[in-house]
C-alpha cells in the first residue's frame, strides 16, 4: 500500500449512496407521472382554476423534493469519489491523471466538465480493479453508458428549464412539459447505471484490499 494514503472502507458510504440513487429512481418516476398528468391537462386545452392550482402545487412540491435530493446526493457522491480515489492510491495505484480533489472539482468547471470527470471515473474504475497495472486494464462499457446518460440528463435539464422560463401560451407550456417528460425518463436509467458503477468500484476495492493484506 502507498504510505501517503490510508485505505478507508467505503461499504457504508456506498450503501447509503445507492439508497439515495434508488430514491432518485422513484422520484424520477413520480416526476414523470406528474408531467404526464400536466401534459394531459394542457392537451385538453380547457381547465378550471382549481385544476391549475392543484397541478401547480403538485409540481412545485415534487420539484422541491427533487432539488433537495439532488443536492444531497451530489454531496454524498462527491465524498464517495474522493474517498474511492484515495483508496486506490492506498492500494498502490500510481500515475492517475486526476487527483482525488479534482475528480470532484472538475464537475463544476465549464467546458472541461464535459470530459475530465469522465477521465477521473475511468481511471478510478480501472485502478480499483487492477491497482498495480491500471493503465493497461480495459474499462467497462458501464463507464461511457454512465457518462452519456449524465451529459444527456443535464442537457435536457437545461433545455427543460429554459423552455419553462420562455414558455408563452398553451403551446409553449405543452412543449416545455414534453421536454420535462424526456428529462425525467432519462434520469431513471442514469440512477440505475450509477448504482451499478459505484457498486462495481467498491466491490473491486474490497477484493484487492483482502488480497493485499
Q: What is the pLDDT of residues 86-106, one digit of tens each?
A: 999 999 999 999 999 999 999
In terms of Cβ atoms closer than 10 Å to its own Cβ (0-12, 13-18, 19+), residue 36 is middle
The pLDDT, as a whole number, for residue 213 is 57
Alpha helices in 91-168 (DSSP H): 100-105, 116-129, 142-166
| Residue 34 contacts residue 56 (beta carbons within 8 Å) | no
37-78 confidence digits (pLDDT tens): 999 888 876 778 898 899 999 999 999 999 999 999 999 999
More reliable by pLDDT, 211 or 56: 56
Residue 162: per-residue pLDDT = 79
Amino acid at each position: 500500500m502507498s504510505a501517503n494514503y490510508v485505505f478507508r472502507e467505503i461499504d457504508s458510504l456506498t450503501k447509503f449512496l445507492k439508497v439515495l440513487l434508488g430514491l432518485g429512481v422513484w422520484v424520477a418516476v413520480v416526476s414523470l407521472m406528474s408531467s404526464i398528468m400536466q401534459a394531459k391537462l394542457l392537451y385538453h386545452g380547457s381547465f378550471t382554476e382549481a385544476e391549475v392550482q392543484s397541478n401547480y402545487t403538485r409540481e412545485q412540491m415534487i420539484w422541491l423534493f427533487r432539488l433537495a435530493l439532488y443536492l444531497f446526493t451530489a454531496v454524498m457522491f462527491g465524498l464517495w469519489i474522493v474517498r474511492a480515489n484515495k483508496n486506490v492510491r492506498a492500494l498502490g495505484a500510481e500515475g492517475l491523471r486526476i487527483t482525488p480533489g479534482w475528480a470532484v472539482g472538475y464537475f463544476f468547471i465549464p467546458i472541461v466538465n464535459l470530459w475530465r470527470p469522465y477521465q477521473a471515473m475511468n481511471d478510478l474504475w480501472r485502478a480499483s480493479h487492477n491497482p498495480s497495472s491500471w493503465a493497461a486494464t480495459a474499462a467497462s462499457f458501464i463507464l461511457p453508458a454512465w457518462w452519456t446518460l449524465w451529459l444527456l440528463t443535464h442537457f435536457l435539464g437545461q433545455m427543460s428549464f429554459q423552455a419553462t422560463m420562455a414558455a408563452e401560451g398553451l403551446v409553449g407550456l405543452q412543449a416545455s412539459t414534453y421536454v420535462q417528460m424526456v428529462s425525467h425518463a432519462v434520469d431513471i436509467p442514469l440512477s440505475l447505471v450509477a448504482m451499478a458503477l459505484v457498486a462495481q468500484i467498491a466491490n473491486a476495492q474490497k477484493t484487492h484490499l483482502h488480497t493485499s493484506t
